[in-house]
Every structure is written in C-alpha cells, then in structure tokens.
C-alpha cells in the first residue's frame, strides 16, 4: 500500500508541473513594441515680414498690399484741421500714418493742378532744390503720385488741400482701396499700387521707391522724378508734344503755351501753376 501511495503522488506531481509549465512559458512570437511618431506637418508659406524689396515685380508688390486687412474707405472722407474743424472731402480720401510722418490726400475737386494721390512725408534726406527752381518755398517731402509718374520734392508755397487738415489714421497692417489705388500701411512705410497705371511706390522716411513701369527721369520741377514714359532709367522725361494723348493734366511740362490732349480728350495747355512751375492745365 505504501508503494502504491508513493506512485500516485509522483504521477500527480508530474501532471501539475506540466499544467503550470504550459501557461508560464514566455511567448516567442509577440509583435515588437513600436513607439508612435508624430506625422510630419506641413504649413502654408509664411507671409513676408515686410514689403517687397526695391526691384520686386509689380505682381509681388500688389500681392503684399492685398494681404493687408481691408478697411472701410468711407471713414477716410474727412480731414480735421488744427483748430479741430472737420472738413468733408466728398469722394476724396485723406489718411495719416500712425507715426504722423506720412500725410496723404486726393483732391476734393480734380483740376488740371490737383489730381491723383499727393503725400507729404518727413524724409531723413529730402531731395535738394533744383537749380532751375531757385525761388519759392521748397518742400522736400512733397510727393505727387498720379500713377504714371512719381515726383519727390516740389515748390509748394500753397499746401493746397492739406490746409483742410489730416485724415484719419490708417493703422499698421491696414489696406485702403480708393479710386485706382490700393494702399497698405506698414511700420516700414506706406506702399500704394496703381495697377491701372502699372506702377507702385513705397514711401518711408528713407524716401520713395518706385515699382512697375516707373523709371528714373530727369526733371526741372521735382527733386527726384520717375515716369512710365521714360525709355530707360536715365532718359529725360518725355513731355508729350501737341496732340499726344500721353499728356497728363497736372504733370510737369517745359514749353509755356504748348497745347496737348489728355487720354480722355481734354485740351491741355502748358502754363505756370503758382510756385509749382509749368504744368499741363485743363482749359
């Protein structure tokens, strides 16, 4: 009996060991642990930190301006004088940079003398007075930009519409669209595009930078001048001969009494315009 009991106990030990051995054996085919990785991300091209550099194509300048935050032009149809009087400009536009170093305005009434965008800027190094303009009040920061020409520095004994005051502030990053102009204010300065004329300008304390069709042109009326009718960067501005539709009212001319026509058929005469020299004036 003792022998039989020992045998039974031995057999039971073998069975128990076999049972637990099957469930404690390490797995040999388990998949290796893989640490998840973040999927690569893509982002849109970062917007340029500043306006295009000098020499940039007009399309790039226009795209940068259009990226600004559009504002309601109807809030820029007044000018406030120094005595606090608010003057209604009608459809004309006036605006001021946050630094108050750039003042711009379009004419309330378009005439042979006043048309397009005019600005007055505080320049670090304004252009010198031309020798041909020895008399009169020289305003080095005066800027005329009707579209196909750009002039910096001018005789302006009469500040014209700026006597009405300044427009509302155009904040940095804001875009103002009016007439044929699209302007964006930036901490580096103001950029205005006139796609109808195929040109643009940047205005800051460093001066005016032309874009598009504007090429350097010699002038006897401005300190620095650019024109879309200049054949190259050094040519003299081409003042239109009689009957040439390129003549623009309000722009400089050389020969008093000379007749021409604007693109719209308006008869123009080259005549003296106060302290501003000779300009094409509508009859």
Distance CA 148, CA 245 (A): 13
Distance CA 247, CA 51 (A): 31
The rounded mean pLDDT for the chain is 76
Token digits of residue 54: 């000098």
Distance CA 2, CA 71 (A): 107
pLDDT of residue 81: 95
Q: In what order do the strands lie in the sheet with 207-212?
A: 69-70, 174-178, 181-186, 189-194, 199-204, 207-212
Asked whether the CA dihedral 225, 145, 135, 238 is positive or negative, the reply is positive
Where does the pLDDT of residue 230 fall: very low under 50, low under 70, confident under 90, or very high at 90 and above? Answer: low
Asked whether the CA dihedral 176, 193, 53, 189 is positive or negative, the reply is negative
Average pLDDT over residues 145-157: 91
* pLDDT winner (highest mean) among 51-60, 122-131, 173-182, 219-228: 173-182
* pLDDT winner (highest mean) among 11-25, 125-139, 207-221, 247-261: 207-221
Residues pairing with 224 in the sheet: 152
Average pLDDT over residues 186-200: 95
pLDDT of residue 117: 96
Average pLDDT over residues 42-46: 40
Supply the pTM of this predicted model: 0.66
């Amino acid at each position: 009996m003792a022998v039989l009991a020992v045998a039974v106990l031995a057999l039971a030990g073998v069975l128990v060991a076999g049972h637990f051995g099957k469930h404690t054996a390490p797995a040999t085919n388990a998949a290796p642990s893989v640490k998840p990785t973040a999927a690569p991300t893509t982002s849109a091209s970062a917007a340029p930190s500043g306006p295009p550099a000098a020499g940039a194509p007009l399309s790039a300048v226009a795209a940068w301006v259009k990226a600004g935050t559009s504002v309601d032009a109807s809030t820029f149809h007044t000018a406030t004088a120094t005595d606090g009087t608010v003057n209604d400009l009608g459809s004309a536009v006036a605006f001021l940079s946050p630094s108050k170093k750039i003042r711009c305005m379009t004419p309330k009434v378009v005439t042979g003398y006043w048309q397009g965008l005019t600005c007055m800027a505080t320049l670090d190094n304004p252009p010198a007075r031309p020798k041909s303009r020895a008399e009169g009040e020289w305003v080095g920061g005066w800027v005329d930009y009707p579209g196909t020409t750009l002039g910096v520095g001018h005789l302006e004994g009469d500040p014209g519409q700026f006597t009405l005051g300044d427009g509302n502030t155009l904040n940095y990053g804001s875009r103002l669209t009016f007439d044929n102009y699209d302007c964006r204010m930036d901490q580096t300065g103001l950029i205005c595009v006139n796609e109808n004329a195929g040109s643009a300008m940047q205005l800051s304390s460093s001066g005016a930078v032309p874009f598009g069709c504007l090429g350097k042109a010699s002038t006897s009326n401005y300190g620095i001048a650019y024109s879309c009718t200049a054949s190259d960067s050094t040519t003299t501005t081409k003042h239109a001969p009689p009957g040439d539709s390129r003549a623009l009212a309000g722009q400089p001319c050389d020969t008093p009494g000379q007749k021409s026509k604007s693109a719209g058929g308006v008869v123009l005469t080259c005549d003296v315009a106060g302290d501003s020299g000779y300009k094409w004036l509508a009859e």
